[in-house]
Amino acid sequence: MTCADRNNLASATAPWERLAVDGELRALRAGRIEVRVAAGPLRLRRRNVWGEWDPLLRRVSVFGVERSDRELVHTLLHELVHVVSPDCLQEAVVERIAGDWLAMLDAGLIGRVADTLRRAATPDQPLWPDPPDDIVPISA
């Protein structure tokens, strides 16, 4: 799916049914995508990070399971848009597509996916240490 292609979003929701039913993240693992969930947010100096897609490791990370069901699932969907649209680097477009995808899901399914993510969460600890003080984020 490209940034501009939203016509396939309806068929893209099918894996969510499998994800919610089996209670684990098997639907994503079947695509050889690791999903890591951390209880707390990833805290950087100037902001919190709620999600991350690492294309080299083929890993989606979701942070901050204390957020609402919709916020938690929206974060996962946002990162999955990056997975299926690697050419899409415009965050505003990715955000809009993830929002459209979320709007297509019913509240019960959103709740089941959020519960699955919360059950998969690791204890509240950073996944990696804070960067040294001499490293300045690119966005700074």
Whether residue 124 is contained in a domain is answered as: no
CATH number at residue 95: 3.30.2010
List % helix, strand, coil for the chain (3-state, nearest 5): 45, 15, 45
pLDDT at 75: 95
Number of domains in the chain: 1
**Contact yes or no for 41/72 (Cβ under 8 A):** no
Whether residue 73 is contained in a domain is answered as: yes
Q: Which domain holds residue 82?
A: 9-119
23-57: string of b/e by CB count within 10 Å (b at 16+)? eebebbeeeebebbbbebbbeeeeeeebbbbeeee
Find, among 140, 86, 37, the residue nearest to 94 by Cα.
Answer: 86
pLDDT at 73: 93
Whether residue 51 is contained in a domain is answered as: yes
Whether residue 135 is contained in a domain is answered as: no
pLDDT 10s per residue in the chain (140 long)?
A: 455 454 454 444 444 444 443 333 555 666 677 888 988 888 888 888 899 999 888 888 999 999 999 999 999 999 988 888 877 778 888 899 889 888 888 898 889 889 888 888 876 544 444 444 444 444 43
Whether residue 88 is contained in a domain is answered as: yes
Whether residue 108 is contained in a domain is answered as: yes
Whether residue 54 is contained in a domain is answered as: yes
